[in-house]
Structure 1
Amino acid sequence: MIKPSIVAYKELQHAYDFFNEHLFNNELPNLLITLQRGKHTFGYFSPERFTGKSTVSELALNPDYFGERSLADTLSTLAHEMCHVWQHYAEVKKCRGGYHDRVWGHKMESIGLMPSNTGLQGGKKTGQQMTHYIMKDGLFQQIVYKLLSSGFEISWYDKYSENMTSPISKVNHDILIDWINQTPKDDINLINKLTKTVNSNSIQMVGDADLAIVSSKPILKGTGTRDKFTCPDCGQNAWAKPTAYLICGDCNKRMENIS
């Protein structure tokens, strides 16, 4: 019998241990990983939050966003919070709770995540409210690919996250192309993990030269921004801008614009 609580937390613990080994040289302590909802936050770190048999810190992830963000983005949030864990326990300069200073920022960059208050290039690198994006050719890009190619996945997400406003994705087109170029063309499961959200709100088509990621939900009529494309062989549908060149990942056939 599947025990969802054990499976869900075991998955997060596995990701924490994997990143601790490959990004932090096993320097981070064991702590309590929790799922906590909070407005406008992907996760947080709370030092020495729990006590009992011992005193341990808390690293929380917000499951509200698991269904709206790519798996790589969700895992990058875990690594982001692990940089806070590192700063708290390492012999380095500390900062006030919740603030993102240069010490934390330099550690982020060393593991392949660029601090940015906008989630885009050119954003501020320090501040109270801070996110990040994955650096092209950085260490995190390599390590998260290794984790996902090992079969890692997150089994459950909040179904109501489908109705939330989706945050900016930090995985850019060039990084996705790098990942796809490393992946056997017939490994559709891994290709999907690299790009689509956990709740399958997006699908991908892979061609020889390019990658397109589009929403699998039809755009409302009258917006004039998306056309419907269909694979002539299997009938798979996708919606994208009228000029898009889409390839069906299952049949390797160009999808036809039928709008």
Structure 2
Amino acid sequence: MSNQSKPAIVAYTELQQAYDHFNHALFDGELPDLLITLQRGMNTFGYFAPVRFEGKSQVSELAMNPDYFGGRSLADTLSTLAHEMVHVWQFHMPDVKKCRGGYHDRVWGAKMEEVGLMPSNTGVAGGKKTGQQMTHYIIRGGRFQTAVYELLKSGFGISWYDSWSHGAVIPSKANKDILDDWLRITDAGDTELISKLTQTVSKNNPVLSGSEGDDEEISIKPPVKGSSTRAKFTCPDCGLNAMAKPSANLVCGDCDKPLVIAG
């Protein structure tokens, strides 16, 4: 079996390719080499662990959760990689103010916006931009929107995903306007790229769809392993939190707004 067909080499080479692409496009090539790993964890898409490995040298770890590869769009999965790369930037750049582990401060948030990702504890506009638990959404017209499109246009893909992908509806981090932007500059005959932009990696290929409206989100299905898996839901208006199975449909009693999964 050649290296090109060995699953482990293929999977990690793809993640390294994406890391190198964003390092060049979003960070001017300043980020260090590190170990990119696949690590499962409840209610997390990925994490950064400073100086986690020792051997020939000390290196940090950037982990991606494969549980979510099959049910999220490629752009969403890659936005998690870029999110964690901002943590890499903050920790490793010598002249950048550091913050405590796991926290998302204003320095991190400002860099997120610079690379084209808006910090939000709810994953939608209006959320808090700093805090212990933080997600993001893609900024329309931002650098990430361009960088991820160029990566997918180059033929990039994720070859392996968790076959147990089932379950809850989670909002995509690319709203309908961004999807329309990408499709507008894509050749109608490039069915492979259109598929990457509009479908999840899963063989079931649930199509990303959104209703009309500038801020409408695209709903996709992420994986849920076992009926006991729980997710954190947040009200986008008041910040009310609740824990429930990811497939639950929760509504805030005070704001009468659907709760969204934080992640």
Q: Give TM-score, length-normalised by structure 2.
A: 0.77
**Aligned residue for 1:9?**
12
Q: Give 1:201 deviation, angstroms.
A: 3.2
2:123/2:135 contact within 8 Å kept: yes
TM-score for the superposition, normalised by structure 1:
0.78
| Map of 1:86 onto structure 2 | 89
Q: CA deviation at 1:196?
A: 1.0
Cα 1:215–1:154 shift into 2, 3 Å: closer
Structure 2: which amino acid aligns with 1:21?
Answer: H
Go from structure 1 to structure 2 and tell me whether the alpha carbon gap of 1:140 and 1:130 turns closer, same or farther (over 3 Å shift).
same
The answer to whether structure 1 residue 104 and structure 2 residue 131 are counterparts is no
CA gap of 1:22–1:80, structure 2 versus 1, over 3 A, is same
Change (3 A) 1:166 1:32: farther
**How far did residue 53 of structure 1 move?**
1.2
The yes-or-no answer on 1:186 pairing with 2:189 is: yes
User: How do residues 74-153 of structure 1 correspond to structure 2 at under 5 angstroms?
Assistant: 74-90=77-93, 91-153=95-157
- Is the contact made by 1:202 and 1:214 (CA closer than 8 Å) also made in structure 2? no
Equivalent position amino acid for 1:131 in 2: T
**1:68, 1:166 within 8 Å by CA — same for their partners in 2?**
no
Tell me the equivalent position of 1:235. none
Cα shift readout 1:119-154 (whole Å, capped 9, x = no counterpart): 000000000000000000000001100000000000
Contact preservation (8 Å) 2:172, 2:220: no
1:154 to 151, 154, 158: 158
Deviation, 1:204, is 6.3
Match of 1:159, SS? coil
1:172 to partner: Cα distance:
0.2
Note if contact 1:203-1:213 (Cα within 8 Å) is conserved in structure 2. Answer: no
**Letter aligned with residue 79 of structure 1:** A
- Secondary structure of the residue that 1:156 maps to in structure 2? coil
Residue aligned with 2:50, SS: strand
Given that 1:111 and 1:138 are in contact with CA atoms closer than 8 Å, whether structure 2 keeps it comes out as yes
Instruction: Report the Cα distance in structure 1 between the residues aligned to 2:120 and 2:208, rounded to whole angstroms.
Output: 27
| Gap runs ≥5 in structure 2 | 210-216, 222-263
Say which SS state the counterpart of residue 74 (structure 1) adopts: helix
Q: Which residue of 1 aligns with 2:252?
A: none
One-letter code aligned to 1:52:
G
Larger relative contact order (Cα-Cα within 8 Å, sequence gap ≥ 6): 2
Identity %: 67
Alpha-carbon distance in structure 1 between the residues aligned to 2:220 and 2:171 = 14
Q: CA deviation at 1:104?
A: 0.2
Contact 2:14 2:158 in 1 (8 A): yes
CA contact (8 A) 1:112 1:140 kept: yes
Distance 2:220 2:130 in 1: 33
CA contact (8 A) 2:121 2:131 kept: yes
Question: Cα offset for 1:156?
Answer: 0.5
Query: SS of the counterpart of 1:58?
Result: strand
Please give the secondary structure, in 1, of the residue aligned with 2:207: strand
Q: Residues of 1 paired with 2:184 and 2:26: CA distance?
A: 23
Deviation at 1:159, TM superposition (A): 1.0
Secondary structure class of the residue paired with 2:174:
coil
Contact 2:172 2:219 in 1 (8 A): no
State how far apart, in whole Å, the 2-side matches of 1:137 and 1:184 are.
20
1:37 partnered with 2:35: no
